[in-house]
Chain A
């Protein structure tokens, strides 16, 4: 029997998998949810109430692109009305000033606006869309509105050498936070990994640059940097532990312990159309599966770090070893660390740099 479930703190609401962008590193599953199966405004509103009652503090609206939901303003109002702190994780389109005003009036607390690069040409290549100019317009609109802003730059091999330009763009905006998030290798990013994983030299340079920026901007802009965990010595504390803090709900209402959990074979996910949020959180098979320490193999089971990183990421363990219950292979203590080392060797090898434009696999839209 696993220890009693703690209260969930955050709800990640994937409102839709539809998106005007086609990013080569999208974290959505390769098999996306169909529009016809998306939850209605009413079901989402009930989910927000149940979440707040279960102790959840904040909801992140994401997707796909949450702004493609025609009822997005109603959803913000419903979530805020339930007592949740509401963040919108968005590409910034489709959006105009009138809709932005409606969102702010409905109680939107925070916008996380994603950028694919500092310049139009590169950003549009990675997103497979003409999106960059619109994002700059949104930045301008936000200067005249009272809503918190985080800029999120998605970082990888092809743009990591241009952080200074991205910083300058961030500093010219009204953002209180700037995140430089290296791509994590799931979903479409795993499929495009060889074109996305930076070299160690690139990574070291970027860490150096961002440490200096962090110091310089302290008290003005909070700078956050997420490194690719393939280069780490120990794994990330994925989701703060399986079934410990977060619940992700897919567009059709399946409740997941993390973004990528659907890739793990044999795992059954309960749907919020059928069961309450609290019941799923406390009892569902998917949340119980890797909760706590019972499931851990060695070396995790007797490791001093097990309460800090929880054995790392279950989805990454599955993607890299075929076994979701293995120690995350990015851990230097993992029996299968050599698989990560082989990927790093290829990324840092002499033949790694190509002048040929990569053959990107772009994320399409669902039916």
Chain B
């Protein structure tokens, strides 16, 4: 498991998506499995939109959970993102890759 780059932009991998709002519970669908999401995990996943950087997601959640120790929030998010990446649920888009796509 490797720590994600703070400047990369996590995005849900192909075949992974949140179920619709308004269903009985929020889940992250993945090929052959699904993860039920509670408060913080849902807040993280909803921000994995390919636009926000890892650093931005951490800052937003530190504000949202202002009573929690900021370092603990950061560590938890990094661990969670790395686990989802290992499970092939997330891609980390680096700015360099984005530039090369734009150049095409």
Contacts and interface: CB of A to CB of B under 8 A. Distances in A.
Interface in B72-104: 85-88
A176 B88 contact: yes
Interface in A57-81: 57-58
Contacts, number: 55
A322 interface: no
Nearest to A219: B86
Contact of A177 (B19, B24, B34, B88): B88
A109 B29 contact: yes
Contacts of A87: 31-32
Contacts of B15: 109-110, 147-149, 176
Interface in B1-21: 2, 13-17, 19-20
By size class, the interface of chain B is 10 to 19
Interface of A: 9, 52, 55, 57-58, 83, 85, 87, 109-110, 112, 146-150, 176-177, 218-222
B24 A55 contact: yes
A83 B19 contact: yes
Nearest to A54: B24
A219 B85 contact: yes
9 contacts: A57-B27, A57-B34, A83-B19, A149-B15, A176-B31, A176-B88, A177-B88, A221-B88, A222-B87
B23 interface: yes
A83 B86 contact: no
A57 B29 contact: yes
Contacts of A150: 31-32
A58 B13 CA distance: 18
